[in-house]
Structure 1
């Protein structure tokens, strides 16, 4: 009966604290992350069923190996598109949440309002595993945004793209595993991200596919908007140095993460989901025209690069550089580079 009461008290306190946490910025962000995770899991399961059906057709001789691989690629692209469309609906909600945080409309959980439970030393002697802090592997929702551009001839100066209006966005889920059992410094961070790289050309220019090459050409009309967007599914891998100090208790060490300065070094690899160009202009009679064109634009389907971040607690300065050139066959290599802020909600 005594243990039942203890468990009941713990349950009630955790429930109340969870309610308070949901009112916080982190709680709301993690709720969005959970919804994104559900979308990804659901679509991956659907894709698995579709791929198994293709494999069955292949085994029955109804498809050749080339036809089966092509069909699988189409199915994967369709599911990636569905994921993007569903997740995009959450993008506005997330942007509003970040803006409310910046405006001070949302505050972090007031720890003075949370409920703390105190137990006797005898109780902890039977539950030593509760004193080791966070689990060795934790999960985070990652959101990043900032400026985006291309490095041409090993420099980004005098770029053909607007510096402050070419943006990148990234969101995804990561897992963070403490490498050493009794030391909190080294962590291995890995996960899955959806990356948007947007380029806005200067001087009323836009991209045109010219055979195997892609050229940046001048428009005959004034362009209110010229935006070239590439969307990627990426697997980021980082070695993270977390300088959060461990707490030494009577019953052992207590480990926490994302409570101090952090440095991450690593990279990413993945594939392109789609490319799209958006042009806005006035036609001959003064009507507003928005033209959206989807295509591969000779952009490399596979992408990989280096990335690093340095920050304090959940917020970091984030740098990414694509080692793979943006276009496949252009005579001059142009590599994407991004700089911005990264938020890891633990």
Structure 2
């Protein structure tokens, strides 16, 4: 019994680190002693889930990918509550990565209703499907909802997504208000809020401050930094600073090697095309294949700006 308690405590400590955005420390703790895999079914489930996420956010995708494809091996899969918690967490992670198609496939494969997701995940899905009004509505509901519903790992990405929509619709005051609410919740993956604030700064013409925020967002976890580097490349190209844009591309090339998700590859092709290092066709094809209207609009505008 003492061994079980010690293992449960180890996993609880790792989760506590994750919730404070100390994902690398959590991964190290779980790797130091993997007795949590066999001592308790609940510990095995949570340890594997958060260990895989910690590696994923750091740019190491293999474990997350294996856990996603080998779902029959999930601990406590036959217990509906725990199965649902794992499905929701993996869907949320995929949406954080911008992987709409993979998230929808997981829901379909598991016959899991979208109504079973949190409002934050439903907001991100609506945004990626080109339904901005629904995305904003779900985001507002998520902000208002204070009831605990599992580990919400995707809220910062939801805020970033919604802020981007509000700015695209000429509603900067609402975007700033939402960001203030987001900061108050102290979500995990808080560097995504820096990207959202940078976009609000860009909309206000504060490009220097935006660049500082974007650089800050690239100095920790890998997840989401493709957006920061792509935005930095765009700011640099607007000033005709090709050297800075090339530095951003170099960072994207490195990221794409470690974390070749669809969005990372799209941003790499976008910056390449904007620098004139490859034709725009590959980037446009990938953006259309991803079928995310807001993302496609941004890609089209930037390609037109830099490839007249």
| Normalised-by-shorter TM-score class | under 0.3
Q: When you count helix as a share of all residues, which structure comes out higher? A: 2
* Normalised TM-score (structure 2): 0.25
* Normalised TM-score (structure 1): 0.23
Q: Which has the larger radius of gyration?
A: 1
Q: When you count strand as a share of all residues, which structure comes out higher? A: 1
